[in-house]
């Protein structure tokens, strides 16, 4: 097979019937947001590159290695969004939403792009549901976001996951901790590249997965032990609200997310049934992001769920999240007159809200019955020119095999009543 007959590396096509699971998962993850005052926002699939390089941070893999960046014909540097938060914040600033009612509660869903090494659960083109509450710094809001993400997963029936939670401090305590960590890291045996990263953001070294690095980090100072009084109070309040909301978590003092903008509350949902790519969602507060993008000094908190990975997690738990076929009535026709009748009946049923389909392409009775069977319809109407002359159609109930002749004048109503 040649390359033009294959989706690009790290991408995949969503096809029926499996695509039904995607739609169901997406809608279930979004459902809690619609009960909590969140409004839908849509931003462009690409932004000025600086939105991400400044927003997400130069020390991250996402910015330094994974962005799809290109020059357009006007010579602008644009980047396919590797995540949504920076673009949503850009829109918040551009449209001066900070001057309106706060928090601005926003959600979005769609494609994100990262040039990562593809493996199970890690793609170059993937889908996120991303949620942000902007302009208010209140621990109760942090708890709301965490609880909404959790509710989305629970809505799908997921149970085998941990919510990892920590606080990454703020501008008052992070710099001191950075110094502490930097002098600790200076005494370790690290390679050139890791030292370079540590120079930009020493916290990122804590996230290094290599055992030889992790072994040296056992006694590393932890940020949670060096939080300022106000950040600690914020974190305590978040945990209190989470308890009140019935959300359980595990403390994760070494959690460092893959994006640089996080401050204070930071979290990740990690599924136990997945391999290396076990993070099904994550987020946190990002009090400096607006200012980093040239906006006012306002705070924000949010999370994103990886829809593709969530589907893998559901499969790992044996959950059937797909909605089935969706066809209630299938109409099989024999003869020219019957075909006209069938096309009309299907239109009439659909207009009445009954999911209906018929056979196309003149496949003969056997092929038509096979198509009817495959459609999953509970009722199959068989109508031939002779039936029409007699003013009836045969209606078969697939579950029982029972077949009755129904007068054409009553057919649509009777089918509608039966679904």
Detail the residues annotated as belonging to a binding site: 83-85, 114, 128, 132, 257, 261-262
> Of residues 142, 150, 308, 328, which one binds ligand HAM by CB under 6 A?
308
CA 318/CA 312 separation, integer angstroms:
10
Query: Does 32 sit near ligand HAM (CB under 6 A)?
Result: no
Cβ–Cβ under 8 Å, residues 202 and 179:
no
Contacts to ligand HAM from residues 238-257, by CB under 6 A: 257
Rg over CA atoms, the chain: 27
State the Cα torsion 360-366-370-371 to the nearest 10°. Answer: 10
How many residues contact ligand HAM, by CB under 6 A?
26
Q: Using the rule CB under 6 A, give the single segment among 124-132, 225-233, 291-299, 352-360 that binds ligand HAM.
A: 124-132
Query: Does 85 sit near ligand HAM (CB under 6 A)?
Result: yes
Residue closer to ligand HAM, measured from CB, 111 or 182: 111
Residue closer to ligand HAM, measured from CB, 275 or 391: 275
Query: Does 302 sit near ligand HAM (CB under 6 A)?
Result: yes
Query: Does 280 sit near ligand HAM (CB under 6 A)?
Result: yes
Query: Does 375 sit near ligand HAM (CB under 6 A)?
Result: no
**CB-based burial, 49-67: b 16+ in 10 Å, e otherwise:** bebbbbbbbebbbbbeebb
CA 103/CA 300 separation, integer angstroms:
8
CA 47/CA 38 separation, integer angstroms:
23
Annotated binding site for L-histidine: 83-85, 114, 128, 132, 257, 261-262
Residue with tokens 């039904």: 20
Minimum distance between the CB of residue 405 and ligand HAM, rounded to whole angstroms? Answer: 54
Cβ–Cβ under 8 Å, residues 201 and 263:
no
**Alpha carbons within 13 A on the beta-carbon side of 239:** 14
CA 400/CA 61 separation, integer angstroms:
58
φ and ψ at 35, to 5 degrees? Answer: -100, 5
Residue closer to ligand HAM, measured from CB, 84 or 341: 84
Q: Using the rule CB under 6 A, give the single segment among 239-247, 301-309, 316-324, 337-345 that binds ligand HAM.
A: 301-309
Residue closer to ligand HAM, measured from CB, 112 or 368: 112
Minimum distance between the CB of residue 18 and ligand HAM, rounded to whole angstroms? Answer: 16
Pair of tokens at residue 382: 């068989």
Binding site for ligand HAM (CB under 6 A): 83-85, 114, 116, 122-123, 126, 128, 130, 132, 257-259, 279-284, 302-304, 306, 308-309
């Amino acid at each position: 097979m040649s390359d033009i007959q294959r989706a690009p590396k790290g991408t995949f096509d969503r096809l029926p019937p499996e695509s039904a699971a995607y739609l169901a998962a997406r809608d279930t993850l979004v459902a809690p947001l619609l009960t909590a005052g969140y409004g839908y926002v849509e931003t462009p699939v690409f932004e000025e590159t600086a939105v991400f390089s400044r927003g997400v941070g130069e020390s991250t893999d996402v910015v330094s290695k994974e962005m799809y960046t290109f020059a357009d014909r006007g010579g602008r540097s644009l980047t396919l969004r590797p995540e949504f938060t920076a673009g949503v914040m850009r829109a918040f600033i551009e449209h001066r939403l900070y001057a309106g009612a706060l928090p601005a509660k926003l959600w979005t869903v769609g494609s994100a792009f990262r040039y990562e090494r593809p493996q199970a659960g890690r793609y170059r083109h993937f889908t996120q549901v991303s949620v942000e509450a902007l302009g208010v710094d209140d621990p109760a809001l942090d708890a709301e976001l965490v609880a909404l993400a959790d509710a989305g997963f629970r809505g799908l029936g997921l149970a085998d996951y941990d919510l990892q939670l920590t606080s990454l401090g703020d501008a008052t305590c992070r710099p001191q901790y950075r110094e502490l960590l930097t002098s600790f890291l200076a005494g370790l045996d690290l390679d050139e590249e890791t030292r370079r990263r540590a120079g930009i953001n020493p916290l990122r070294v804590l996230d290094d997965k290599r055992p030889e690095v992790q072994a040296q980090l056992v006694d590393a100072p932890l940020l949670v032990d060096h939080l300022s009084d106000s950040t600690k109070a914020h974190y305590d309040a978040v945990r209190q609200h989470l308890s009140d909301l019935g959300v359980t978590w595990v403390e994760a003092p070494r959690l460092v997310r893959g994006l640089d903008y996080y401050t204070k509350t930071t979290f990740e949902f990690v599924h136990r049934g997945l391999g290396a790519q076990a993070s099904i969602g994550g987020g946190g507060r990002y009090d400096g992001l607006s200012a980093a993008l040239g906006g006012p000094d306002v705070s924000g908190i949010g999370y994103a769920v990886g829809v593709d990975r969530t589907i893998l997690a559901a499969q790992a738990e044996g959950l059937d999240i797909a909605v089935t076929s969706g066809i209630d009535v299938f109409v099989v026709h024999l003869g020219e007159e019957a075909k006209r009748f069938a096309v009309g009946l299907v239109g009439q049923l659909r207009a009445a809200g009954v999911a209906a389909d018929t056979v196309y392409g003149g496949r003969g009775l056997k092929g038509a019955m096979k198509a009817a069977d495959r459609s999953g319809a509970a009722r199959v109407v068989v109508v031939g020119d002779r039936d029409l002359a007699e003013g009836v159609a045969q209606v078969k109930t697939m579950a029982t095999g029972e077949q009755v002749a129904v007068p054409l004048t009553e057919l649509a109503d009777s089918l509608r009543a039966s679904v």
